[in-house]
Amino acid sequence: MFYFQAWISFAVSMAAVGIGIAYLPVSAWVRGFFAVGALYLVTSSFTLAKVIRDRQETEAVVNRVDQARLEQLLTDHNIFRPESV
């Protein structure tokens, strides 16, 4: 459900900005500048979200590997395990 809400929100906001830019009482050059600026903002937002997600996923993998190594180390050096003769 959240996935569809996010896409609907994105579509509505882009349409609102597009309509707002189209009806600005300025020259076509100014409207074009605002349109390019809005598109740049959207694409850079997607890029930033992807970079943040990728970094979080990388940190999660590193943390899982570190946790597995720690568990292996603790298992190998368990002081409560009886000594084998």
Half-sphere exposure of 22 (CA within 13 A, CB side): 6
Report the predicted TM-score, pTM, of the whole model to 2 decimal places. Answer: 0.62
**pLDDT, tens digit, 9 for 90 and up, residues 3-54:** 899 889 999 999 999 999 999 999 999 999 999 999 999 999 999 999 999 9
Token pair of 2, please? Answer: 């959240």
Say if residue 83's pLDDT is above 70. Answer: no
66: pLDDT confidence band, cut at 50, 70 and 90? Answer: confident
User: Once rounded to an integer, what is the mean pLDDT over residues 73-84?
Assistant: 72
Runs of H (alpha helix) within 1-85: 2-22, 28-76
